[in-house]
Structure 1
Amino acid sequence: RSSSAAGVRTWGLIDLFESWLWKISYLSPAKPNSYTDELQARGIDTYSIRPNRRDELQRVLRAVKPTVCVFDRFFAEEAFSFVVRETCPEALRVLDTQDLHFLRAGRQEQAARSSEPDACISEVMGHLPSAESAALLRELAAVHRSDVCMACSPVEAALLSERYGVDRRKVLLSSFLCDPPDTGGNPGFASRQHFVTIGNFRHP
């Protein structure tokens, strides 16, 4: 559940949909694993769908008959939305960006170009990709194809609508989908010492 921020967010969406008493089906190109077992234990139907197998995906969609289809990140929208649109034209297609990947990638490239990381924070945070950026164009195309786009932060929501012309009515601000931890028992800063960081070094 907590292997990544995106994973926590996806579980949060599932919790939300269950609270609305929605029937949930989970389709993934990944091989079945422990997460599949956990989903099934919660009564969620799971399907392993192979990429580039239109007929297989169509069979599942016709059986499930979704009224709402959520794509986690634009990669999934690129790979599967055209089949959903063709097979279930009445289904609402929702893109959960899980952050704007073109912005993350651009900031990472900006940081890598600097020999003084501490001095480049303002440049990194202010970075916007060029209009020719393939990552920007791909992700914006996915946003425009979708009926609703879920943005993680007010800054990203404003960026989509104000800079890139996405209709405000289709941009849904959806920041956190998990309960905050109980920090009441933590010691105050004055009584703390040392430092630890947790991560995979993929995002500076």
Structure 2
Amino acid sequence: MTQPCATKVLVIGYVWPEPRSSAASGHVMQILETFLQQGWDITFSSPAGPGEHKADLAALGIREVPIELNNSSFDAFISELAPDIVLFDQFMMEEQFGWRVEKHCPDALRVLETSDLQSLRHARHQRLKERLKANADQDDFSELFAPALREEFELMADTDLAKREVAALYRCDLNLMISEVEIDLLVEQFGLPRQQLHWCPLMVDLPTAPPKAFAERAHFLSIGNFRHAPNWDAVLWLKSTVWPLIRQQLPQAQLHIYGAYTPPKATALHNAAQGFHVLNWAEDALEVMSATRVCLAPLRFGAGIKGKLLDAMLCGTPSVTTPIGAEGMHGEAEWPGSVTRSASEFADHAVQLYQDEPRWQAAQQAANTLLGERYQRAKHGPALIEKLRLCQQHLPALRADNFTGSMLRHHFHKSTQYMSQWIEAKNRNA
């Protein structure tokens, strides 16, 4: 008796995954691992060059195939591969390759992995810039945090980025969303059908060993890829305002800042006399997090959910953050640390958590509870596979119900095809 063929998946990545450099890449790896557990046949392609910390996908049994933008060689490649599922990692890949996928593999399930809503993150960044321009106060940013969804919509709706991103979501059969807040925003304000959105947060295995105790830890920690604008802004706020307030109360306190791709402007902030240590990339983020007493994440803008804060939970490390940092991460559950709205409040809570062992232990227990309730791989992995299979089984009906997506595909993919052909012809004649 012949065995059924394994499901063939093509992942088109904006970059090659670097799970130790960013939570977004970590999420992609979690999805790939979920597919591998099903015995699926996976090919990963990207037009980007390999980064310094690229994961070895080939060692996992995943084919690595570099591709190029605006190059018809992709047509022969995807026609021969004939994938059952095409996963676009970030909406720009759907913009670049979606029309070629539809032309050569019209029956493939098209899935978009968002990591976060980029248009929301960029709109919030603009709001922060305007606030800083209008008001020099570096303490209270409460007006930026957790506005109503309608306010977020009005902030985003006229932007080119939102129109591009939401259009890509419509054109796909299914969109993997990391934050429930973003799902509500898309459904309630942008009108996307809820069945096109699937909640797929960061997925982890629960720790089996007890975390280090209060007395075994020391220092504060902040971590995050410096290429990610919200992380860089958080470092600047720490340096200018938050950390001096902490040192006023704890003169011997030390802050260790880790981040991939540390630029000179970040290393220039290093000041051992102030206890402000910029230490570049952490070889093992969980190891340094486990040795830390309190994680600091003073995020003034951003979207999605934050890998650094999930890592803190995994290590039993209480954290202090803002409503932006905690957004979409804990539902109605208690935050494992503190959520604050100003630099002064942030500093006070960080100092209290650092010194108060019973409070610290309660936060550590809250982290363990939250992990079990919301982030178990054993729960979200099977749910993702079930959703993908359900979409495959009912694909004609899903597409028939998504007229807006069909209309957008028709117009966008036609115009993109003509533009791509023009660029190729120009390159050939150059």
Fold in common (TM above 0.5): yes
Change (3 A) 1:169 1:37: closer
Structure-1 residue corresponding to 2:45: 27
Query: Is the radius of gyration larger for structure 1 or structure 2?
Result: 2
Change (3 A) 1:88 1:45: same
In the alignment, does 2:65 pair up with 1:40?
no
Residues 1-204 of structure 1 mapped to structure 2, 5 A cutoff: 1-32=19-50, 38-53=56-71, 55-114=72-131, 115-126=136-147, 128=152, 129-180=155-206, 184-188=210-214, 192-199=217-224, 200=226, 202-203=229-230, 204=233
Change (3 A) 1:116 1:179: farther
Q: Deviation string for 1:158-187 (max 9, x for gaps)?
A: 111111100111110001133355672222
172-181 vs 95-104, greater mean Cα deviation: 172-181
Change (3 A) 1:36 1:60: farther
Q: Contact 1:32–1:48 (CA<8 Å) still a contact in 2?
A: no
- Determine helix, strand or coil for the equivalent of 1:46: strand
Q: Contact 1:107–1:125 (CA<8 Å) still a contact in 2?
A: no
Q: Deviation string for 1:29-62 (max 9, x for gaps)?
A: 1235677771112221111101000x21111111
Task: Say which structure is richer in helix.
Answer: 2
Change (3 A) 1:40 1:130: closer
65-74 vs 124-133, greater mean Cα deviation: 124-133
| TM value normalised by structure 2 | 0.44
Change (3 A) 1:196 1:34: closer
Give the % identical residues: 31
- Determine helix, strand or coil for the equivalent of 1:176: coil
Change (3 A) 1:57 1:121: farther
Distance (Å, rounded) in 2 between the aligned partners of 1:32 and 1:193: 36
Q: Contact 2:179–2:201 (CA<8 Å) still a contact in 1?
A: yes
| TM value normalised by structure 1 | 0.89
Gap regions ≥5 residues in structure 2: 1-18, 234-430
Which residue type is aligned with residue 229 of structure 2?
R
Which residue type is aligned with residue 76 of structure 1?
M
- Determine helix, strand or coil for the equivalent of 2:110: strand
Q: Contact 2:44–2:64 (CA<8 Å) still a contact in 1?
A: yes
